[in-house]
Amino acid sequence: MQLKIYKDYHSLSEAAATEIIELVKNKPDAVLCLASGDTPRLTCKLFAEKAIKEKIDLSNVTFIGLDEWVGIPPENEGSCHYFFQHEVLTPLHFSADQVHLFDAISENQEEECRKMDNIIFEKGGIDLMIVGIGMNGHIGFNEPGVSFDKHSHVIDLDDTTLSVGQKYFKTAVSLLKGITLGLHHLRESKKVLLLANGAKKAGVIQKTVEGEITLSFPASIMQKHSNGFVMIDEEAAGLIEK
Ligand code: PGA
């Protein structure tokens, strides 16, 4: 794992967006997994702007969504589906057959997990995974205590995720479970970028890069990734021993 510190949120997002652009230029049939949330929002926007400006052909790229709130329909503005659709998929004209998002209102969530695992396997694995980090150290919905060996799974959401998660919704929703790619997917991804910005993430970033590698703090698995990058702004780097 390598740590990269940027001056501010914008330069961090520029760097992450450039990573995506370089990948799809070099590998037009790349498998790209993105996270939703406040942190990757600007990365997604800049990626879309750059791809349009540079007229990059994305028609062979496969897009994988990291996770979803179980029971929340895609038209809800707080869903991950809605985020991906508005920030990336519609502006870049991705066709439905290129895009794989968990169907969080399917009655068979187990089948959703196996479908996602098979797609990733058949496509030859994820080339680039870009994730955020939760205030409890989660990645996607890999909550504290989850095994590092899981592929896609459904999980009871941690109390921190349940309360912080309301920020994405205009009106309060009942959240209980999440469906998510697992940390085994992260470990197998050819490259992983974990992004964080702002002073409120300084504590979790310090634990991610300097803490013990432990199931109780899922993001600590980043330390083991040989092509993993923790990309943060100066505020999020505030508690790291320098
Ligand atoms: P955020 O979410 O980017 O909205 O802070 C991060 C996460 O919970 O993974």
Q: State whether the beta carbon of 134 lies less than 6 angstroms from ligand 1.
A: yes
Q: Please say if the pLDDT value at position 242 is more than 80.
A: no
Q: Please say if the pLDDT value at position 178 is more than 80.
A: yes
| C-alpha span between 81 and 53 (Å, rounded) | 25
Q: State whether the beta carbon of 79 lies less than 6 angstroms from ligand 1.
A: no
| C-alpha span between 65 and 22 (Å, rounded) | 20
Q: Return the biggest CA–CA distance within the chain.
A: 49
| C-alpha span between 34 and 38 (Å, rounded) | 12
Residue 87 Cα to ligand 1 midpoint, Å, equals: 16
Q: State whether the beta carbon of 182 lies less than 6 angstroms from ligand 1.
A: no
Residue 26 Cα to ligand 1 midpoint, Å, equals: 29
Span 1-19, pLDDT tens digits? 999 999 999 999 999 999 9
Residue closest by Cα to atom 7 of ligand 1: 134
* Most ligand 1 atoms within 8 A of CB, residue of 39, 43, 175 to mutate: 39
Average pLDDT value for residue range 29-34: 98
User: In angstroms, what CA-CA distances link 130 with 72, 86, 108, 111, 179?
Assistant: 22, 17, 27, 24, 17
Average pLDDT value for residue range 26-39: 98
Q: Average pLDDT over the chain, rounded to whole?
A: 98
Residue closest to 120 by CA, chosen among 67, 189, 169: 189
Q: Please say if the pLDDT value at position 119 is more than 70.
A: yes
Q: Catalytic residue at 136?
A: yes
Q: Which atom of ligand 1 is nearest to the CA of 40?
A: 3
Average pLDDT value for residue range 82-110: 98
The model's pTM: 0.98
Span 121-153, pLDDT tens digits? 999 999 999 999 999 999 999 999 999 999 999
